[in-house]
Amino acid sequence: MALSQAVVRDLRRIVGEQHVVDQPNDLRIFERDASITGATPDAIVLPGTRDEVVGVVKLAAQHGIPVVPRGAGTGLSGGAVTLRGGIALQLSRMRRILEIDTGSRTATVEPGAVNQDLQQEAARHGLFYAPDPSSQKACTLGGNAAENSGGPHCLYYGVTTNHIIGMEVVFADGSLAWLGGDAPDRLGLDLLGLMVGSEGTLCTITRIKVRLLPAPESIVTLMAAFPTIESASHAVSDVIGHGIVPAALEMMDQVTIGAVEAHYKAGYPTDAGAVLLVEVDGLDESAAELAAKVEEILRVNETSSLRVAEDAAERELLWAGRKGAIGALGRIKPNYYLHDGVVPRTRLPEVLRRVGEIGEHYRLPVANVFHAGDGNLHPNILFDMRDEGILEKVEAAGEEMLRAVVEMGGTLSGEHGIGIEKNAFMPWIYSPDDLDAMLRVKRVLDPEERLNPGKIFPDPEREPKLVARVGLASEARWW
């Protein structure tokens, strides 16, 4: 149901005439994020300040209107989809990097600040921000905080929650609060930890203070090829088993390698069954020693070829291939369905074998590119949505893959969130009492359940089945 003209006028009064969108054709742009089936908001509101956010949320509370905070729309679990209509609170205007404090090694940013923009600004001061999602050129720090995003270098450095010191948030009633602080320990109840990863269901983020790290003196990147994905998986376990935790430890299978190499020409061997990208960093001497030890372990595990990036340009090219892998898969099929399950590292060969079997059973190509070091899988089911009956097959295959992950001691998500993609499957890993406890926390902070309704928890208003992501691989338009 469309918002009343009185509400629309009030919204325009709060944020400005040009920052409220309510025309049907314009609303379509915000129907979805980078994930699944969309839903049209009743209005898009683009606040430019925290006071405007407070005003919008208070107005929505007065009229019982749902509010869905939204960043760059790169989320992969439907967190920014307005399932119940209402207001899509688009925070991209609030994109300033407010402060880089080199003394305390912190940065304070607005939620719409882009991850890579912070990386580049921090680098000017000899610092860096560790969480680096593959979408970092576009994704916002507010969205990263809401989803507790990861990235290749989170194996060693930790995910977003490990790097957020404090946040300013607006609760469902429009009240403003600062959570956290500069102290290394959080005294009392960890409300900051509760908000990070809450997927917009508990608050709207208006300011974030993050921890920055000194740029390492030396970075060594190794690319190792293996005859099979199983042998590469054993090498991963062996590296970790020797007490070595690299800065990053990524894997791509043969399907992904072929697509990536065709586009990026990064030097990935297309005849390999799998490739590992391993990065270590630190002081010059220690990084060199650690890289030599990793190289020794990889050779013992029968790597078919191994190379060390000679300079920053070669290292960046290798990483460009890894971070652009999903787009490159458009050379194979125009659409994809990307999963995000996590299993113990020792179960990687077993679960990857099962994923392959499921793909073969449904006659669907599957490309694997994932964070091997922490067992965070990203199987991509590739398909063409124009094929009759294909979505039903994709849904069934995806559900079986998730079930296999859970049966092998894993969980539903490592970094993409639950959203509407996996909320029906939360009972696979949580008891009714567990889910009830979480819901009670939600209802204390949002008693009318207006903040991002229908997410994370099983939704009685939706069918309890997986809805296939109709993602468009970006390279498909060219090849």
DSSP symbols for 159-207: -GGGTEEEEEEE-TTS-EEEEE-SSSS--SS-HHHHHTTSTTSS-EEEE
Give the three-state DSSP class for 232: helix
Task: Give pLDDT, residue 300.
Answer: 96
Whole-number percent of the chain with pLDDT over 90: 87
Tokens encoding 324: 């652009």
The closest alpha carbon to 81, from 418, 358, 430, 434, belongs to 418
pLDDT single digits (tens) 30-86: 998 987 678 999 999 999 999 999 999 999 999 999 999 999 999 989 999 999 999
pLDDT single digits (tens) 149-183: 999 999 999 999 999 999 999 999 999 999 998 77
pLDDT above 70 for 476: no
- Predicted structure pTM score: 0.92
pLDDT interval class at 429 (50, 70, 90): very high
Positive or negative, the Cα torsion across 158, 162, 167, 173? positive
Give the three-state DSSP class for 433: helix
pLDDT above 60 for 465: no
Task: Give pLDDT, residue 473.
Answer: 47
Task: Give pLDDT, residue 477.
Answer: 32
* More confident: 101 or 395: 101
Q: DSSP state, 419?
A: T
E strand residue ranges, 227-355: 248-253, 274-282, 305-308, 335-338
* More confident: 470 or 274: 274
* Contact present, 50 and 170 (Cβ < 8 Å): yes
pLDDT single digits (tens) 273-301: 999 999 999 999 999 999 999 999 999 99
pLDDT interval class at 184 (50, 70, 90): low
CA distance 119 to 223: 24
CA distance 117 to 244: 31
Q: What is the mean pLDDT of the chain?
A: 93
Rg of the chain over all Cα atoms, to the nearest angstrom: 22
Cβ contacts of residue 318 below 8 Å, gap of 6+?
221, 223, 266, 267, 277, 309
pLDDT interval class at 468 (50, 70, 90): very low
pLDDT above 90 for 332: yes
pLDDT above 80 for 419: yes
Q: What angle do CA 110, 115, 118 make, to 5 degrees?
A: 70
pLDDT interval class at 474 (50, 70, 90): very low
CA distance 433 to 426: 12
- Give Cα 30 distance to the centre of its chain: 19
CA distance 35 to 336: 10
Burial of 310 (0-12, 13-18, 19+ CB in 10 A): exposed
Q: Which domains does the chain have, with CATH numbers?
A: 5-90 (3.30.43.10), 97-214 (3.30.465.10), 218-328 (3.30.70.2190)
